[in-house]
Amino acid sequence: MKQVEIKLNISAVAPLLDVIKQAADDLRGTLAIAATFPEEDADFTETWTQELMAAQNSDVRELLGLFDSDFFADGAISIDSNNCESLLRGCAAVRIRILARWLQEVPAEIIEDEDASISDIAEELRLPFAAYTFLDQVQKIILEHLNPAVAE
């Protein structure tokens, strides 16, 4: 089983976790992306939506679980081939929520530019932007080192 351990600066990540947790709380009762169904069967739609919500909430819990008391003791998170797909989905859901809640007014070219200057972001949006970027980097590490699309 492949595993990656990422050592993080606790004091730098802790404020980002506040934003991530707020976004995760928002997602408890709603999907990151609204689901549309081809059939107009209310029972089917409700059942399927509940299943999607349960899966999304499980993925977000997996993500938040990386930042437990062990993380605050040593500053390390561990990702392996067993949890990497769930973490990718959890990061994606939280990033989408951060975009919708805080960053919708920030131009896409700034959000997508890895070399964007922090001064391009309004001061009150810098922390959500940093949380969004942090989760992006976690996803990139997973894809680079534990790419779930490639069979072991």
pLDDT tens per residue, range 9-58:
999 999 999 999 999 999 999 999 988 877 788 888 889 899 999 999 99
Which pTM was predicted? 0.93
Cα(7)–Cα(22) distance, rounded to whole angstroms?
A: 23
pLDDT band of residue 149 (cuts 50, 70, 90) is confident
CB 142 within 8 A of CB 84: yes
Structure-token match 């947790």, residue found: 21
Domain boundaries, the chain: 3-146
